[in-house]
Amino acid sequence: MFRKILIANRGEIACRIIRTAHRLGLAAVAVYSDADRAAAHVALADEAWPIGPPPARESYLDIDAIIAAARASGAEAVHPGYGFLSENAAFAEACAQAGLVFIGPPPAAIRAMGSKSAAKALMLAAGVPVVPGYHGDDQDPDRLAAEAHRLGFPVLIKAVAGGGGRGMRIVADAQEFGAALAAARREAEGAFADQHMLIEKYIEPARHVEIQVFADRQGHAIDLFDRDCSIQRRHQKVIEEAPAPGLGAELRRSMAAAAVAAARAVGYVGAGTVEFIVPPGAADAFFFIEMNTRLQVEHPVTEAITGLDLVEWQLRVAAGEELPLARKELRRRGHAIEARLYAEDPEREFLPQSGRLRRLRLPPAELARVDSGVREGDTISPYYDPMIAKIVVWGEDRAAAVGRLRRALAATAVLGPATNLGFLARVAAHPAFAEGAIDTGFIERHRAALLARPSEVPAAAIAAAALHRLAARASAARAAQTAADRFSPWAENSGWRLGEPAAQELVLSAAGRSYRLAARRCGPGWQLEGVRGMFAAALTLADDGACRVTIDGVGRSLVVLDEGDALAVSLDGETWVMHEIDALAPPAGEELGGGKLTAPMPGKVTSVLVSRGSRVARGDPLIVVEAMKMEHTIRAPVAGIVAAIRYAAGDLVEEGAELVALEPAAPAEPG
């Protein structure tokens, strides 16, 4: 076994690998960009080496910088994690040339499976069914368009070197094809430095089922059961589970055999995942999509049902050991589900968010395993994936796992950037999810229920926020009191009045509405008036934000995170951000936009699609901004004339920066 390894990655997966390395007695070396100087993985590692500026191309994708750090640190092996250089054959070769062990498959296997088109040709030769499509070298746009016509719309444009949903577009008809191809190529060039595309028939809805495989240098190759990754947005997985629900035993065996055959066909070594599409209603049909020649984000659900540590297996196989277990020795127990908590806004098409995690409360260990690369107070950077944590639950069966997932999400809260927490809770609570009626069209089919958060803020949430602020006021007053103040009514901030119960007023804003409350002490609790009547309320606090609010004798568990001017109240997985308003302050003036279009988040302008003086209609694309590995097209909210363009392609922009100014178009003269 190695003595010291370097992790060529960041965030959650770097922390995950470091913990296993430490458990095995290995020293772990981290690398970091300037943006990650104070990151969790840097603090957790035994030593950490800087590798460059924040953009991934200048740091985490800089092979020379990472190899130099590995050699200087004395590391014997390099673990690439997932993403970045994990499926880069040139990086694996550079490690070998530097005398370092690459903890992953051989470069030849990476190349064979790293090109989606080459992998599909290989699978066809091996007799594995593949999705109908065009995987050729001719990349002329007219040829690609002709192949799309041959397959019949809808089709899927997919980057040959892609992953994580980047460089991928669904095209419904021929009119959309040219623009979609151009956008996919731009995104693929930015993420993978490769514009090659393949075209596939788009099968929707379908199940997305994958098989975890493992192989060693002694020629042993096995599967470690299946996972379902069908619930996706933007072609990226959101919820994964193992085993895949509702599959017949014969279909599971057939896919597992095909996956192992695929691994053997390329001389695979280490951990890999073979992904399949299962058409709707299919009893035995499945199609190969791709093989990921690395550890997957969702590997914890496999670990949960097998009791294994797949990172430990990776390290042992890379060190030359045989697989720790034979296939017949594996045991599958129970059901596991993973939910990915992201800084993103589901109500704005899952737009990634950035900003400081002012307060963060994740589920306790008795409810869920939590894999995270951030801590309270850290900043979600616009340069990298906006994942906050993976919340992984296990149950004796799927029903038990779904129940634990709901509880784990209800015990989670974030005060800071917008997150998908409420969306995840709505998925977990949806009857179709409970029934296992899932496929890749799940989110779109249930869009109204999953993306529309409740419009009314529950009285329990408002009461909890109000009582939390009252407790904070009292605590601050006690801290500021002098000995002489202790018996003086003039030092009170409780709303004391001669001859009547003390009253305090609070004004809270939430979900676009203001709530004015009068609070009076009533025994050990409070009497609150103004939120749908009058009621008695009390709040029990814990150090980690967990609370219990009691209203008219009925108790509810929730989480309240409070910092500065804001509170986040999480109740049953839904989060409401509230602000306390100074009741004596004048109303804020309304800011007039004047036709300005601003950046929704920090990023880089990749394309300007109009010029000054252009006449545009509502919905026309104006400018494209790349942020967090995804492209975001800014469209005209109204018809008008482009009065100014503030940025050019290649420019970096901050959130809220004005990109384009529009002037109202003069009405057309009657003809």
Beta strands 503-510 and 351-352, pairing class:
unpaired
Q: Is residue 122 part of a domain?
A: no
Dihedral in degrees, nearest 10, Cα atoms 33, 38, 39, 42: 80
Q: Is residue 127 part of a domain?
A: no
What average pLDDT score do residues 532-537 get?
A: 86
Distance linking the first and last C-alpha atoms of the chain:
83
Q: Is residue 40 part of a domain?
A: yes
Q: What is the pLDDT of residue 586?
A: 46
Q: Which long-range contacts (CB under 8 A, 24 or more apart) does 228-233 make?
A: 228/438, 229/275, 229/298, 230/206, 230/438, 230/439, 230/440, 230/442, 231/427, 231/433, 231/438, 231/442, 231/443, 232/165, 232/208, 232/440, 232/443, 233/346, 233/350, 233/443
| 219 and 188 in a common domain | no
> Residues of the chain with pLDDT > 90: what percent?
65
Give the range among 12-16, 204-208, 249-253, 367-371 with minimum mean pLDDT. Answer: 204-208
Burial group, residue 590, by CB count within 10 angstroms (0-12, 13-18, 19+): exposed
Q: What is the pLDDT of residue 478?
A: 75
Q: What is the pLDDT of residue 393?
A: 98
**Predicted confidence (pLDDT) per residue in 581-608, tens digit:** 875 554 443 333 345 688 877 778 888 9
**Predicted confidence (pLDDT) per residue in 426-484, tens digit:** 999 999 999 999 999 999 999 999 998 887 899 999 999 999 999 888 887 777 765 55
Task: Strand 101-102: give its sheet, edge to edge.
Answer: 47-52, 27-33, 4-7, 77-79, 101-102
**Predicted confidence (pLDDT) per residue in 114-161, tens digit:** 777 778 888 888 878 888 889 888 999 999 999 999 999 999 998 887
Q: How far from 662 is each of 70, 147, 447, 632, 643, CA to CA, in Å? A: 51, 39, 32, 19, 5
| 296 and 371 in a common domain | yes
| 361 and 468 in a common domain | no
Q: What is the pLDDT of residue 166?
A: 79
Q: What is the pLDDT of residue 116?
A: 73
Give the range among 210-224, 259-273, 408-422, 501-515 with minimum mean pLDDT. Answer: 501-515
Average pLDDT of the residues of the chain: 89
Q: What is the pLDDT of residue 378?
A: 96
**Predicted confidence (pLDDT) per residue in 70-127, tens digit:** 999 999 999 999 999 999 999 999 999 999 999 999 999 999 887 777 788 888 888 7
The distance from CA 642 to its chain's CA centroid, rounded to whole angstroms, is 35
Pinpoint the alpha helices (H) of 45-81.
Answer: 63-73
| 283 and 423 in a common domain | yes
* Domain CATH for 373: 3.30.470.20
Q: What is the pLDDT of residue 591?
A: 33
In 3D, which of 533, 621, 600, 606 has the Cα closest to residue 351?
Answer: 600
Q: Is residue 117 part of a domain?
A: no
Of the residues 581, 614, 633, which one is the last residue of a structural domain? 581
Greatest mean pLDDT among 94-98, 576-580, 643-647: 94-98
In 3D, which of 123, 311, 122 has the Cα closest to residue 212?
Answer: 311
**Predicted confidence (pLDDT) per residue in 205-264, tens digit:** 899 999 999 999 999 999 999 999 999 988 889 999 999 999 999 999 999 999 999 999
Give the range among 118-127, 214-223, 340-349, 614-623 with minimum mean pLDDT. Answer: 118-127
Q: Which long-range contacts (CB under 8 A, 24 or more apart) does 313-316 make?
A: 313/214, 313/271, 314/79, 314/103, 314/104, 314/270, 314/271, 315/1, 315/2, 315/5, 315/20, 315/21, 315/24, 315/26, 315/77, 315/79, 315/103, 316/1
Beta strands 77-79 and 4-7, pairing class:
parallel
Region of residue 512 (phi > 0: left; psi between -120 and 50: alpha; otherwise: beta):
left
Backbone angles phi, psi at 558, to 5 degrees: -155, -175
How many domains does one find in the chain?
5
Contacts of 481 (CB under 8 A, 6+ apart): 491
Residue 193 — very low, low, confident or very high, per pLDDT cuts 50/70/90? confident
Among the listed residues 16, 207, 294, 469, the single catalytic one is 294
| 36 and 172 in a common domain | no
Instruction: Measure the CA–CA gap between 450 and 430, rounded to whole angstroms.
Output: 8
Range of the domain at 179: 132-201
Beta strands 197-201 and 413-415, pairing class:
unpaired
> Residues of the chain with pLDDT > 70: what percent?
92
Give the range among 232-236, 325-329, 481-485, 565-569 with minimum mean pLDDT. Answer: 481-485
| 81 and 20 in a common domain | yes
| 403 and 497 in a common domain | no
The more confident residue out of 119 and 529 is 529
pTM for the whole structure:
0.83
| 510 and 571 in a common domain | yes
In 3D, which of 316, 313, 252 has the Cα closest to residue 284?
Answer: 252
Residue 655 — very low, low, confident or very high, per pLDDT cuts 50/70/90? confident
The more confident residue out of 361 and 581 is 361
* Domain CATH for 624: 2.40.50.100
- Within 10 angstroms of residue 542's Cβ, the number of other Cβ atoms is 10
What average pLDDT score do residues 335-359 get?
A: 93
* Domain CATH for 178: 3.30.1490.20
Q: What is the pLDDT of residue 66?
A: 98
* Domain CATH for 553: 3.30.700.30
| 274 and 161 in a common domain | no
pLDDT(619) > 90 = no
Q: What is the pLDDT of residue 588?
A: 41
Q: Is residue 121 part of a domain?
A: no
| 361 and 236 in a common domain | yes
Of the residues 201, 225, 253, which one is the last residue of a structural domain? 201
The more confident residue out of 547 and 124 is 547
| 247 and 363 in a common domain | yes
The residue type of 76 is E
Q: What is the pLDDT of residue 671?
A: 47
| 380 and 345 in a common domain | yes
Confirm whether 3 is a catalytic residue: no
Of the residues 201, 220, 239, which one is the last residue of a structural domain? 201
Q: Is residue 147 part of a domain?
A: yes
